[in-house]
Amino acid sequence: MCDTMVALGSVTADGATLFAKNSDREPNEAHHLLRIPATRHAPGARVKCTYVEIPQVEETYEVLLCKPFWIWGAEMGANEHGVAIGNEAVFTRVPYEKRPGLIGMDLLRLALERARTARAALEVMTNLLAQYGQGGNCGLKHKTYYHNSFILADPNEAWVLETAGKQWAAERVKDIRSISNGITIRDQWDLASPDLVAYAVERGWCRGRADFDFARCYSDPLYTRLSRCNERQCRTTAALAAQRGKITVETMIRALRDHGAGANARWSPARGVTTFTVCAHAGFGPIRATQTTGSLVSHLTPGAQTHFVTGTAAPCTSIFKPVWLGGELPDTGAAPTSEYAAAALFWRHEELHRATLRDYATRLALYRDERDALERRFIADALACRAKPLADRAALSARCFTEADEAEARWLESIHARGEMSYPGILYATAWRGFDREAKIIRE
């Protein structure tokens, strides 16, 4: 489960396009930040994606990838030309191809590496869909199959692309848009696969174009409903609509940290077995098998693109830090795996995150104000610095990562000083003790 949103310059405070996404994966499916430089490839070269090889193009662009550690592609990312893309799992009535093929995250990376604009990225993805389709397991521990939807953004425009097998529809964004884990395009679109309606008619899902509705015809109603996607999409859309004309990077971050209408100072992710919010928290049972493992907000203008990443799980316990393409990313330590390693940024933060979960409201309150103050400074400094030489921007990015890492270490010490606690509730505790054992991060 994930949530992705975009606000165009017509409704943002400074005229930039703002893109944001939470990546929801299994709790131990570590999130990896990765920069791939621009590369020229020899004629006849091939590229090995997560499962399959396809022909490589002559030139690939520099990309920032925010990805599950084991997947070649990415859940979200951006390229040197200011294109940002995020994907969502969608559950459809079209049979899933379980044989290894291109998965949605592969399509996303291939588009970032090959396209200068959001519209060109859409063409890359739909051409690949027509040629190869999509298929293959998308889960780390638990095999998971799904189709994909995407928001594709650049400094000038954005598109929603929703797919079901090789069929797809696309809609150009007007002002604001968000997607979650369900098809949202209904009976109007700007572009579509040639057989979109005919495929549905052949299967008896509608009689013709007059009564065709992409979401109604193609969606798997059970899994779409269980994903709680409509609730989350309504929350993110409302958050952006409420700030129309005033939307900032901070607006997008607040939306990514949303815990739903009932959240208050005493809210806890330990409650419920079907609760699933934008800032997603894992728990007991199949509906809560995933959580937000990484988050991205991109500030896109024609002259400069600034990206704010957590690189860590649960945006409510994380700090968004600035990065730029053009040079190396700040050092985040060893590449993470599904097991705890203090050398990896993701897992260092997991100690704080999982310690916070043991008494969420009380422990988050210990550092929330400092988190917000640090983040406000990081954002202000980054946006003020975005036109400066790369060396200045790289130095600022490195300082922000170092400060964030040091702050999180202090916060963890403060929590431990108050004594050890168990996870609350029998079911919640059972789930998290299991996650900890699998990751070899056991404290009890």
User: pLDDT tens for residues 234-282?
Assistant: 999 999 999 999 999 999 999 999 999 888 989 999 988 888 899 999 9
What the block records as the tokens of 193 is: 């696969």
How much is the pLDDT for 1?
Answer: 79
Decide if 117 is inside a domain. Answer: yes
Decide if 330 is inside a domain. Answer: yes
The answer to whether residue 353 scores a pLDDT higher than 60 is yes
Q: Give the total residue count for the chain.
A: 444
What CA–CA distance (Å, rounded) separates 118 from 216?
27
SS3 at position 177: strand
How many domains, in total, are found in the chain? Answer: 1
The answer to whether residue 442 scores a pLDDT higher than 80 is no
The answer to whether residue 351 scores a pLDDT higher than 70 is yes
Q: Which of 137-141, 275-279, 402-406 has the lowest mean pLDDT?
A: 275-279
- What's the whole-number average pLDDT of the chain? 96
Decide if 444 is inside a domain. Answer: no
Decide if 86 is inside a domain. Answer: yes
Helix, strand, coil shares, percent, the chain, to 5: 35, 20, 45
How much is the pLDDT for 226?
Answer: 81
Averaged pLDDT, 208-231? 91
User: pLDDT tens for residues 36-93?
Assistant: 999 999 999 999 999 999 999 999 999 999 999 999 999 999 999 999 999 999 999 9
How much is the pLDDT for 5?
Answer: 98
Any idea which residue has 């999180």 for tokens?
408
How much is the pLDDT for 374?
Answer: 98
User: pLDDT tens for residues 98-115?
Assistant: 999 999 999 999 999 999
When pLDDT is cut at 50, 70 and 90, the band that residue 223 belongs to is: confident
Decide if 293 is inside a domain. Answer: yes
Decide if 300 is inside a domain. Answer: yes
Q: Can you point out the beta strands (E) in 142-228?
A: 147-153, 158-164, 167-172, 176-179, 191-192
Decide if 326 is inside a domain. Answer: yes
3-state secondary structure 237-292: HHHHHCCCCCECHHHHHHHHCCCCCCCCCCCCCCCCCCCCCCCCCCCCCHHHCCEE
How much is the pLDDT for 274?
Answer: 82
Averaged pLDDT, 433-439? 96
* Biggest CA-to-CA distance, the chain: 66
When pLDDT is cut at 50, 70 and 90, the band that residue 372 belongs to is: very high
The answer to whether residue 207 scores a pLDDT higher than 70 is yes
The answer to whether residue 285 scores a pLDDT higher than 90 is no
When pLDDT is cut at 50, 70 and 90, the band that residue 443 belongs to is: low
CATH number for the domain harbouring residue 242: 3.60.60.10
Averaged pLDDT, 398-419? 97
Which secondary structure element, helix H or strand E, spans residue 2, and what is its range?
none
Q: Which residues carry out catalysis?
A: 2
The answer to whether residue 444 scores a pLDDT higher than 60 is no
> In percent, how much of the chain has pLDDT > 70?
100
How much is the pLDDT for 225?
Answer: 84
Angle at 312 between CA 292 and CA 392, to 5 degrees: 130
Torsion (CA) 385, 388, 392, 398 in degrees, nearest 10: 40
Tell me the whole-structure pTM to 2 decimals: 0.97
Which secondary structure element, helix H or strand E, spans residue 321, and what is its range?
strand 321-323
How much is the pLDDT for 273?
Answer: 81
Instruction: State which residues form the domain around 249.
Output: 3-417
* Amino acid letter, 134: Q
Decide if 247 is inside a domain. Answer: yes
